[in-house]
Structure 1
Amino acid sequence: MLQDQLRGTGVALVTPFTTQETIDWHSLERLIDHVIKGGVDYVVTLGTTGETPTLSSEEKLDLINFTFEKVNKRVPVVVGIGDYNTYDVVKRLETCPLDEAAAVLSVAPYYSKPTQEGIYQHYKAIAAASPKPIILYNVPGRTGRNMTAETTLRIAKEVENVIAMKEASGDMIQCMEIIARKPKGFLVISGDDAVAFPQLACGMDGVISVAANYFAKDFSSMVRAALEENYTEARRLHYKMLEGFDLMFAENNPAGIKAFLHYDKLVENVFRLPVVPVTESLQSRISAYLKAYNKAGSLV
C-alpha cells in the first residue's frame, strides 16, 4: 500500500546551485545518493526547502525528471505542487510529468489567507484533478493561515484522493486532535523536525524532514525507532540532534540546511535572492557543532 511506503522518513530535498546560480545537477545526484544511503524512506522534490519560488517552470520540470532518473525507483518520490491560485495548481497537475510519482505534496494556499471553506474547496478541486494522491500541507508560518483540525478532518473524510497531511503548525493539541479523529488509513506526518519525536510518540506516522538532508542516518533511525515504540533509542537520537535543529532553523530555511551540507562539501552555499547565506556568527556555531558531531562518527 502507498500509505506503507510513506510511513517513515521523507526528506524535502534542497536544490543545490552552482556559484553561477544555475542548478548543480552533480551535487543533487550526490545528495540523493546520500539520503538514500542514510536510510530515508522517500524523497520530496520541489518543496519550499528546494527554493521553488525562485525556480522557473522549465527548471521545475527538469528537477522532477532528474529526481525520477537518479532515484531510479530505489525509494518513492513525492512531488511538491502548490500555489495560492487553485486553477494554476490544477493546470500543473494535469501537465506535470507525474507518472513515476508516488504522491503530490500540496501546500495550503498562501498570501491570500482564505477562509477554512476556501481551503476546503481548494483541496477538493485539486484532488479531483490530480492523477496522484494528495498530501495536504499545513504550514501557517509560511502561508499566513492555519488549516484547523476540523478542516483537515473534513477533507480527510469527504475528499477522495487525499491520503495524508503534513502538519507543521507547531500546535501539539491540534496535531493530537487530528491523530485521534482521523479516518483509518489517513497518514498524519510531522513537518517539524525539532518536535517530530514527541509527535511520533503521540501517534504520527512519520516526518517530511529538512534535517534529514544532512542527518540522514540518525534522523531516519530516530523515526524508525519511534514508530517501533523503542522510545529510549528514539529519545537518545532526538537529543543528539536537538542542538543541530536549533542551529539549522535559527535564521532561515533553507539557508541553515545548506550551511550544514556545505560544511561537508555536499553542496555549494549558494542561493537565489531573496534567500542569503546564514550570518558568519551562526556559521561559526554550526561549524563548531558539526566538528563535534562528525568526530562522534555519526555522519553516513
Structure 2
Amino acid sequence: MGLSKNFGSLQALKDLTLNVDTPQCIGILGPNGAGKTTLLKIITNILKPSEGKILVNGINVNQNPTKALEKIGALVEQPEFYPYLTGRDTMKFVARIKGMSVSESSDEIEKLGRITGITGYLDRKTGEYSRGMKQRLGLAVSMIGDPEIIILDEPTFGLDPRGMKEMRDILIALKEEKRRIILFSTHLISEAREVCDRVIIVDKGEIKFNEEISGMRGNKMRIRGDFNHVAKITGAKEITSKGNEITVEMNPGATRNSILRELMESGVEIDSVEGMDRMEEVYLSLVQ
C-alpha cells in the first residue's frame, strides 16, 4: 500500500498500491527495469520499502515477517542451491524449517516432485541440474507447506521453448485449482495472456494498467494463408491484408468458425489462425 522504493536518486517504485484478496493468477507485466522484481522482493521482505507497507492477511511484513510470510512461497530471481545436496535433501531441509515432520515432508516431496516433474531427479545432486531443472526445483520448494500465496519472479526466464511450455503448463494447472493466489512477473505478453487471470502492467515503478484478461478479449483474428482471390467475408466488419496474412475484425454475432468455414469453402488454404486481444495494443500504448 503506497509503496515507494528509492536506490539513491533512482526511484524504482512510485506510490504503488495493489490489493489481492481472492485466489487467482496475476501477471506483473513490464519491460526490464520496470520495478517488477523490486516489488516482489519487498513483498517477500528481501528489500525494505522507502515508504508504504505490505500487509499479508492484515499482518505487516516489515513488523512481523515470520508471521506474515508463513503462508507465502516464493521463487525470486534465478534459484541456486547447495550443489552437494540432492533435490530431495534440499526439500527436506526447507520442510524441516517449516516445521513439518519426517513423514509429512516425505509425502510432500513425492507429491511436489510429481507436480513439477522432478521425481526422477530428486536423488541427484543439484550441482548436476540444468537451469530448467533448478527452476522446477525452485518452484517445488516454494510450494512446500501448501502456501496460500505463491510468488514467482520470471519463472520461465532462461528456459528453452520446451522448458517454457512445461513451466507454463504447471502454472496453469496450479491456477485451475483455484485454491491460492499466484503472483508472477514476466516481460512476455504471450506468457501473461496464456497463464493469467489478471494482468498488471508496470513501467517506471508505477502501475499503468490493472485488468482481468477476460475484459481484454478482442474481436479480431490474424489468418495466414493464400488470399489472392479473397475480396469479401460475410461477418467481417473490416479486413486488412499484408502479403499472405489478413487481419479480420468480426461483426457482432459473427464467430471465428463461421469465417474460417467461409474462407475454406471459397478455396483458401489456411496455414495458421491466431486470436487477437487488446493486450499488445494496451501494453505498447502505456510502456515507453
Give the TM-score category using the shorter length: 0.3 to 0.5
Larger radius of gyration between Structure 1 and Structure 2:
2
TM-score (norm 1): 0.39
Compare the two structures and name the one with the higher helix fraction: 1
